Structures are given as C-alpha cells and as structure tokens.
Structure 1
Amino acid sequence: MKILISGASVAGPALAYFLHRDGHRVTVVERAPALRQSGWAIDFRGAVFKVLEELDILSEVRAHATGMTGTDVLDADGDKIDELPADVFSGELEVPKRDLTRILHAHTADAVRYVFGDSINRIEQDDSGVRVGFERADPESYDLVVGADGIYSVVRRLVFGPHAEAVHHLGLSGAGFSTANHLGLDHRGALWQQAPGRRAYLYSAADPDRMSVGFFFPTDSPALDLLGRAEQERALREHLAGGGWIVPRLLADMADASDFYFFSAAQVRIDHWSAGRVVLLGDAGYCASPTSGLGTSQALIGASTLARHLAQTGGDHTRAFEDYEWEMRPYVTENQERGRTGAERFAE
C-alpha cells in the first residue's frame, strides 16, 4: 500500500521502518524544515526494549545513554535537602531525544521518502483511498494516512475535530532550553522548588560544558502552547518572579537559547483513534503527558502494534485499526492515569 505519515519525530519514523519492512511504500511529511533538535532527554522502561530490538537500534541507542547518577533536591535558596535515585527521572535507559530522532531517521532515510518543510492542509477520503492536500506540494492520493504529528496534530484536527475537544490540560506548563553548565553538574540533576508548582529541573550529561534547564509552573489552560515565544517567555518570567538562587541568571540565558521550547502537561483523549482510512499514532491519538514518563515508549509500542496488525490482517485496514486500538487502549489508559498523578505531584 501507499501510506502517508504526518510527523517525523519518534512515532512516525518508527512506523515507517516497520511499514517499509512489510513491503509498503511510505512517505513521511514534517512541518519543520529539518529534524528537530529540541526536547528533553527521554527514558525507556519495560516492554519498549523489545520494540527497540525490533527496530534494530537498541545497541546504538544505548551508546547515547546519559548515564545519570541521581538528582539533588534543592530548597528555594538552592541548598540540598534530599536526593532521588537515577531511575526516578531516567528510567532504565535515558537518551537525549535528538539522538533517538536522528537514529530513527538514519535507519529509514534510504528506504522512506521524507518531505520536510511542508504540512497537510486537506484530507478527503472514500472507499478507494485518501486525497491529501499540502501547504506546498501538489495534492496526492494514498491508501492510508497516519497522524503521528503530536498533541496538536493537524491530521486529528482535520479528520476528528478541533483541538479543544481532544486536548485536556493537567494544570502544569513549562519551558526548556540549554545553557552553560553554571552548576558544574556531572551526569547529575538538580530539582529546585520556589513555591508549590514552581520548579526547575537542571541536568548535564553528554556535554560537561552544557546544562539542560526545565522550568515548570501552574497554568489553568493550554492556551500558551499556541502563542509565540515572546508571550511564552513573558508568562514564565511572571510566574517565576522573585525566584532566588540562580533563577535570574537562567532566565537571562533563556532569551539567547536557540533550542527553546514550550510544553504543557496535557493529554489527548478521544473515543476512536481511526476514521475510515485515517489513523492516529502516539501523542496525536493518546498523549499521556510528559508527567507520565512513558510518552516515547507508548509511541514506539504503538508503532509496532499498528504495523503488526496491518500485516496480520493482510492490509485490511478497518480490522487492523480496530485490533490496534483494542490492544493499545488498556496500556494507554494506565499511562494516562500515571500522567495525571504525575502532574498532581509536580504541582504540589
């Protein structure tokens, strides 16, 4: 079959690998002009290791492990008051997201057609196929379309309805970027709290001269996600006003960071993950929130599961989509509960 995947982060390239392996012709379209370089380090736990082996990338992924040794818990003045073991934030294996994305792309680039700097703007389908319009390229027809394009999925909006009906905010937002390693952290994290819900998590791993910074603060809606960087930075500064320790210095660094990104603890909850010849994968269909610690694992397991059911049904997409959802729903439900609990604890 001729299959279009929207999204070239983790879920999309992983699914592309499996679909090409099974004999399908795959195109991946990505709005960004190139592979994204921002994002937190991601951790792996449990069943996802089988998928990494199936993708034949486990040893390569392990080579990029952050090797974190734990996290120091700091009070408002930056004094250490506690210590957390490495697996609290790093799981069984942790790697920078940019490395996983690069590895997945490298393993599929010769077999899969990638189109960067473009996005879907129209989807029309019938019993014979899906007609897709693009912002730049000419329209094209496909047998199936997969939305693996994140929590604000274009595919989901076009086929399943507006974001407001699917995205459920969990009351926590934040921003991340990298800067000079002011603290001299060595494969270690530092968790600082100014007031309930207002925190910073900092760590340094692969590059001893650089430090990753994440700020978190309570919010009552996901509206900031869709605003520009200037508005997002302004909101962050307002929520962290009066913060001591090295927070003023970090906020100054933020303005010059080239890898700044903003995020919210939110979940995607919808009744069905497929409609006709269109199906959703990963955060686009069932984001569990970063506070679950299982978003990437969920995306990779979902990609393997979807591809397996398409293969087992001989391309009967209707049955395959139903079986994929039936198998994944319990796992997603459990992870989303973890995400809600995690957000509540982080906001304490």
Structure 2
Amino acid sequence: MDDTTVLISGAGIAGPALAYWLARHGFRPTVVELATGVRSSGSPVDVRGPALDVAARMGITARLREAGTDVADLRFVNAEGRRTGGLSLGSVPGAAPGGRDIEIGRGDLAAVLHETSRDHAEFLFGDSIATIDQDEHGVDVTFRHAPPRRFGLVVGADGRHSTVRRLSFGPESRFVTHAGLYVATLPLGTPAPHPRTVVAHNTPGRMAAVHPRRGDSLAFFAYRAAPVPDFDHRDADAHKRLLTAAYAGGGWRIPELLDRVRATDELYFDAVSRVRMDRWSHGRTALLGDAASSVSLFGDGSTLAMAGAYTLAAELAASPGDHAGAFRRYEERHRLLVGPKQRGVERAAAMLVPATRAGIAARDLASRVWSAGSALGKRPEKEVAPA
C-alpha cells in the first residue's frame, strides 16, 4: 500500500493542521470527524511559542489575530465583585515577548485550520472509524457509514477519548487518569462587561469566570472533584446536574450562570485528565495531540497540537517508506515540548482553583507580586519553535 495515503481521525486542531502539512509534502490525507461540521465548543485556547511559527508558515497569522479574543488581563474578584488580585496574561509563564501570543476561541481556530486545509484534503464529516486492521503493507479501515477503505497510515488526532487509541492500543482506562478537576464552558451570547479582561471568582475548590470573546462572552467553570463513577463525556443532562450541584449556593454571578447552564444546548463539560503512553505509535498507526498526551489548563494543548502536526508531517516526508522511523523521531522531538506541560498541571490547578481559602488568598497575593515583577521587565523564556 502507498504510504502517502493517510487517514486522520479528528477535525479539531491537530487533524486539519496535519492534513495541511501532509498535503504540502505530497501525501494524500483524508480526515474523518464524528461531528457533522467544525465544532464551536470549548474554552479559548492559545497559539503561542512554536505554534506561532507554524501559523506563520501556514500564512494564517493575520486571520488568527483577527479572530482572537484580544484579552489582556485576568482579574480575581470576591463575592461582591471587588478585585482581590490579578495579572497580565502576557506575564503568564511561556508567553511570548511583545504580546505576540494569540488567544482565540477553539472553534475559531479549528475553523481557520479547516478552511486552510480543506482544498488539500478529503474531509468526511458525520462519520467515525469502526475497526482498524493493519498488516505490514497497509491498514484496512471500516467506518460507521462510509464504505471500507485501505490506507497506508492512520493517525489518531481525536482527543482524550480517542477512537484510534482505543482500537489500536487498548481501552482508555490504561492511558487516561483523572487529574482532579472538571471543567465546563458555555457561550453567554452577550458582550462581556470588561472586553479585555477575564473576571474570575473563587471559593475553595471552585472557580467560575466570564471570559470575553469578540462581541460575545463565555462562562468558564473549573472545580475539584474525585472521579465520577461511569462518567460519560457525552451525557449533557448528567453534566448539567454535576455542575449545578457543584456550584449550588455560590455568590458573585454564580446563580445567573447556573441558570444559563440549565437552559443551554451548548455546554461543554469534561474531566481534566492526563494521557500518558509509553509509545505513540503501533505499526502503521500513530497518535497526535491530546490523543497521545495531554494535559494543559492554560490553553497550551492547541499549541502542542499544531507543533506536533508540523513535526509529524516533516518526519514522514523526510523518510519515504520508513514510517516506523518517522514515528519514532516525531515522538522523540515532540516529547521535549509535551513533558514540561504535563508536569505543570498541579501548579496550574493551584493557581486557577486553590483548594482552601488560605490558598486563594496566597494566590491573589502572588498574582499581585508577579504582576509587579513583570512590570519591571522580568520576562519568562520563550519556547523553542519546531525545526
């Protein structure tokens, strides 16, 4: 089988980015996506560090900035809405100097990547992989709806609940562990009162925020909880029950936001989970993005997905007929970016969702000190771009 025929599962961030770069290198990618179109759900994400360079090489930087949120600050408030702390998002570790980072709605980023790649790849929306059967020469794939086909390679870019990972590597429980948090988002359909500022309110183990988007705003929730038995990431009614129970009796804007939760059809809700695997490839199948490795609470998953897509395509192009070597080198290179992000989840959780009142007070004080230090010119180091 010709290795240039590549099936990619997932049309979120990693999938379209990989399709674009594979096509540029002479491959023939096909992208299959369970949703009937580009999804609009999820919290804002960041294009920073190595992804900025990938975006520039794709020629989409201006479009991403035009669609970006233009958010500059994070403000912590008490139950009465009075400021208790905060910081410039440009001072967050990993931020690029000069405000070059782009924060953008996940759906907006996915739409730009799809528009950029759709003329170079085949897209099958409203479908998913049912079975994968590989041999030394190729991969036979059956779909839920489309006729069976044979491909040279298969890449799972289908997120934490990856179908490709389950079919080729084993059940989700072997690789995915609960990180102690659940997160939820929903669009509010109204402009934010502070169009460049995320406003967040904490109680012990709980955080709720209103996040501006261009002409709109988004509610964001993150709370600490043990794993829910038999949790189903597709059960929207159960998600609403869990969220409203977790925030019952809260102050600030919580009652209003929970009313929106009950009424919405656009709630995104899932556990924050770590995906850890000894290997990201098995024969002619490989994993990319959150399917291979997650977790990030600061939107870095999209940055890693774009950087990983660029690296995987480049390694496959550099080694015609040697997919095993290409997969191995891609993994070696990309783990250098992924490792620090996975190790930083506890620190991110401590900042976003302190577990105690003392922790909230300490976080607010630290944020004021950090902002003061940043104003004096103390900048974090820039991440290394993919070669």
The TM-score, its normalising length taken from structure 2, stands at: 0.85
The CA distance in 1 between the partners of 2:53 and 2:234, in whole Å, is 38
User: 2: distance between equivalents of 1:95 and 1:247?
Assistant: 25
Aligned ranges for residues 158-177 of structure 1 at < 5 Å? 158-177=167-186
**Pairing partner for 2:318 from 301, 312, 318:** 312
1:237 correspondence with 2:244: yes
- Runs of 4 or more, structure 1, over 6 Å off, are none
Where 1:255 maps in the other structure, the secondary structure is helix
Question: Which residue of structure 2 lines up, in the alignment, with residue 152 of structure 1?
Answer: 161
Q: Which residue of 1 aligns with 2:144?
A: 135
Partner residue in 2 for 1:277: 284
Alignment-derived partner of residue 358 in structure 2: none
Note closer, same or farther for the CA distance 1:183–1:296 as it changes in structure 2 (3 Å cut): closer
Q: Where in structure 2 are the equivalents of 1:2-21 lying within 5 Å?
A: 2-21=5-24
Report the AA paired with residue 182 of structure 2: S
Separation in structure 1 between the aligned mates of residue 234 and residue 267 of structure 2, nearest angstrom = 14
Q: Distance in 2 between matches of 1:292 and 1:212?
A: 16
Deviations 1:213-256 (A, max 9, x none): 01111121265453511111111111111101221111111222
Residue 337 of structure 2 is matched in structure 1 by: 331
Unaligned runs of at least 5 residues, structure 2: 96-100, 355-387
Contact 1:313 1:319 in 2 (8 A): yes
Cα offset, 1:147, TM superposition: 0.1
Change over 3 Å in CA distance of 1:183–1:45 after alignment to 2:
closer
Structure 1 unaligned spans of 5+? none
- SS of residue matched to 2:292: helix
1:288 equivalenced with 2:288 (yes/no) = no
Aligned residue among 192, 204, 208 for 2:212: 204
Conserved in 2, the CA contact under 8 Å of 1:292 and 1:335? no
Q: Percentage identity across aligned positions? A: 37
TM-score (norm 1): 0.94
**Is residue 57 of structure 1 aligned with residue 60 of structure 2?**
yes
Matched, 1:246 2:249: no
Which residue of 302, 308, 311 maps to 1:302?
308
The CA distance in 1 between the partners of 2:39 and 2:275, in whole Å, is 22
Deviation of 1:189 after TM superposition, in Å, equals 1.1
Shift of 1:88: 5.7
> Which one is further off, 213-222 or 233-242?
213-222
How far 1:211 sits from its partner (Å)? 1.8
Residue 334 of structure 1: how far off its partner (Å): 1.1
SS at match of 2:29: strand
Q: Find the aligned partners of 1:282 and 1:182 in 2 and give their Cα distance.
A: 32
Deviations 1:168-187 (A, max 9, x none): 21101021001144862222
Partner of 1:31: 34
- The SS at the match of 1:77 is coil
Displacement of 1:109 in angstroms is 1.3
Hey, what's the Cα distance between the residues in 2 that align with 1:315 and 1:76? 61
How far the C-alpha of 1:11 sits from its partner, in A, is: 0.2
| Deviation per residue, 1:241-292 (Å, 9 max, x gap) | 1101221111111222232111222111011000000000000001123x15
Aligned-partner residue type, residue 305 of structure 2: A
Aligned-residue Cα RMSD (Å) equals 1.7
The structure, 1 or 2, with the larger RCO (C-alpha pairs under 8 Å, 6+ apart) is 2
SS of the equivalent of 1:107 reads helix
SS for the counterpart of 2:263 is coil
| Partner of residue 115, structure 1 | 124
SS in 1 for 2:307: helix
Tell me how far 1:117 sits from its aligned partner.
0.5
Match of 1:87 in 2: 90
Which stretch shows the higher mean deviation, 40-49 or 23-32?
40-49
CA distance in 2, matches of 1:99, 1:147: 22
How many angstroms does 1:200 deviate by?
0.5
> Deviations 1:31-79 (Å, cap 9, x if unpaired)?
0011101111111222221111122211221222211131221113332
Query: SS state of the match for residue 43, structure 1?
Result: strand
